[in-house]
Amino acid sequence: MQAFLDIFDIYLLEAVVNGILLGGVLALLALGLNLIFGVIDVTWICYAELVMIGMYGMYYLVQVFGVPYWAAAPLTILLVAALGAALHYIVIAPLLTAPPINQLLATGGVLFILQSFATVAFGIDFRNLGIRLPVLAFGEMHFSYARLLSFAAALIGMVAVYLFMTRTFTGTAIRAISQDRQIMSLMGVDTRRIYLITSALGGALAGLAACLLVLQYDVHPFVGLSFGPITFLICVLGGLGNFVGGFIAAFVFAEIISLGGLFSDLEWGYVLAFAFFIVMMFIRPAGLLARRT
């Protein structure tokens, strides 16, 4: 019995730490989506598919063109940022005055386009970078460097966004627009330019997430479906547009998935997370950090 408990605790602790590491990347994804929603008031359903395209970008740069990882990552971030800006320019901008649901459904169309584009262009095979990072043994626990690296990079990415938003003029303008859309255009801020910058920034975050996820997961055209829904749940639980709420919710969900996956399959972790989400909606419907009115 005692031996059983020892093993149990070690695995439990390992799962808890892995959950925290997973939470970093999920928080990054949630931040990008929250940024877009907070500023432009649009939800990109195809956000996870942008990540998928970024993962393919990394795969082709590293495996096919032989670019080293550290050089391929910035290129991929730029690529997905450009994609985000293009998405805004082509699809969202003509719909800014349409009902919000129409904008959301249009990005649903983009989800179809990106998925089938990947199917047509890259095929449905699972691909990976072929980089196997070593595993860190800490006591009797094992953590892959890929996860540690992702966690660190995700944190750095989030701090960079925070500094950009608080220390630069453009960042201040972005925050101001998310507070009051009408007034800011009267104050001489070019809303269209800010929207485009925000979209590119959201895309860049998706690109960064792609660089990190490709270290841990194989890429295929439908990979977005495996973390897209969970990202949306995180954003709703944290309160759409609420950065801090999304950050906390990401870690809560990551722990549930990680611990749920410990006792059974990973898919059941997702199911558990969804059940938790439904319960939370009864308790805190407006998001984790919402003030009661």
Partner 1 sequence: MNPRYLAWAAGIAALIALPFVYRDPYHLHILVLILIWSFAYTSWSIMGRFGLVSLGHGGFMGVGAYVTALLWNHLGVSPWIGIPVSMLAAGVLALVVAYPCFRFRITGHYFVLVTLALSGIVLQVITATRDYTGGSLGYTPNRTRGSALLALQFDDKATWYLIALFVWLTGLLIWRWVDRSMSRYAMEAISEDEDAAAAAGVNVTAEKLKITLISALMTALAGALYCQYQMFISPDTVSGISVSLQMVFAVIVGGVYVSLGPTVGAIITILLAEILRIGFGTKAVGWDNLVYGVLLVLFIIFLPKGILGSVIARLKTQRKMPQRS
Name the minimum Å distance from CB 132 to partner 1: 26
Cβ closer to partner 1: 85 or 146? 85
Name the minimum Å distance from CB 270 to partner 1: 5
Name the minimum Å distance from CB 110 to partner 1: 6
Cβ closer to partner 1: 159 or 290? 290
User: What separation in angstroms does the CA of 81 have from each of 86, 210, 212?
Assistant: 9, 12, 16
Cβ closer to partner 1: 195 or 277? 277
* Contact positions vs partner 1 (CB under 8 A): 37, 43, 45, 91, 94-95, 98-102, 104-106, 108-117, 119-120, 124, 221, 225, 228-230, 232-233, 235-236, 240, 265, 267-268, 270-271, 274, 277-278, 281-282, 285-286
Cβ closer to partner 1: 187 or 281? 281
Name the minimum Å distance from CB 178 to partner 1: 15
CB-based contact 216:144 (threshold 8 Å): yes
Q: Which of 147, 243, 244, 150 is CA-nearest to residue 201?
A: 243
What letter represents residue 284's amino acid? R
Cβ closer to partner 1: 74 or 109? 109
Residues with Cβ within 8 Å of 8's Cβ and at least 6 positions away in sequence, in order, are none
What are the backbone angles phi and psi of residue 44, rounded to the nearest 5°? -85, 100
Report strand pairing: 135-138 vs 141-144.
antiparallel
The single-letter DSSP state of residue 127 is B
Name the minimum Å distance from CB 266 to partner 1: 8
Cβ closer to partner 1: 31 or 62? 31
Name the minimum Å distance from CB 15 to partner 1: 18
CA distance 56 to 36: 23
Cβ closer to partner 1: 77 or 261? 261
Cβ closer to partner 1: 21 or 118? 118
Name the minimum Å distance from CB 136 to partner 1: 30
Alpha helices in the chain (DSSP H): 2-40, 47-59, 69-87, 100-122, 145-167, 169-179, 181-186, 191-216, 224-238, 243-263, 266-283
CA distance 175 to 135: 40
> Residue for token digits 């220390």?
167
The three-class DSSP label of residue 138 is strand
Name the minimum Å distance from CB 32 to partner 1: 15
CA distance 30 to 76: 19
